[in-house]
Structure 1
Amino acid sequence: MLIERDPNGDFILDSSELAERFGLSLADLRRHMRHGSVVSTVEIGTGEHEGTKRVSLRLGNRLWRAVLNEDNEVQQEQMTVFRGKTSGPHLR
């Protein structure tokens, strides 16, 4: 997946590739995005992870994460589907 940065430093991801990863049509993903159902976060690596970033996108009970290197190339990605409640994992 190609991940770029805009002049403000925001990450730009390809919608059609994201739709595929979430198992949705492009139209369905865009509908979820318009409704604010897709939540994203970016974490910046420190210490031994300096220079990396982790991009996470959540939609319902699905969480897609990608670890990027210094050049914003995907080094690893993972899709997690949470069972049961869609509010996310709970720590005990």
Structure 2
Amino acid sequence: MKLEPDQSGDYVLEPRFLAQRLSIEEHELQRRMRLGLVTSRVECGIDGDKGLKRLTVRNRNSVWRAIVDADNRIVSEESFELEQAAAAAN
């Protein structure tokens, strides 16, 4: 899938796409976004990952993370719950 950045370079994701990945209803995701309860981060790759970006979106304990290449295509993605990730690390 190809993502389209807006004029400021930020990625704009379709609510339906993101809601599916966060296992939440679309209208509830939009409500939480309006309330500022959904956070996102974009990190640019360095060294061997130069040209890649990592997008992370978090809603409570649900996380969706994607790696995007220089052509703005998702090359990998994962969805997980923070509680599960912490338990797996122990």
Interval of TM-score (by shorter of Structure 1 and Structure 2): 0.7 to 0.9
- Where has structure 1 moved over 2 Å in runs of 4 or more? none
Residue of structure 1 in register with 2:26 after alignment: 26
| Structure 1 residues without counterparts, runs of 5 or longer | none
Are 1:72 and 2:67 matched, yes or no? no
Q: Which has the higher contact order (CA 8 A, sep 6+)?
A: 2
Residue of structure 2 in register with 1:3 after alignment: 3
How far did 1:83 drift? 1.9
Determine what percentage of the aligned residue pairs are the same residue.
35
Q: Where is the strand percentage greater, Structure 1 or Structure 2?
A: 1
Q: Where is the helix percentage greater, Structure 1 or Structure 2?
A: 2
- Determine the C-alpha separation between the residues in 2 that align with 1:3 and 1:76: 13
How far did 1:21 drift? 1.1
- Answer yes or no: is the 8 Å Cα contact 1:3–1:73 preserved in 2: yes
How far did 1:2 drift? 3.9
- Determine the C-alpha separation between the residues in 2 that align with 1:64 and 1:57: 5
Paired residue total: 87
**Cα gap change, 1:54/1:3 in structure 2, threshold over 3 Å: closer, same or farther?**
same
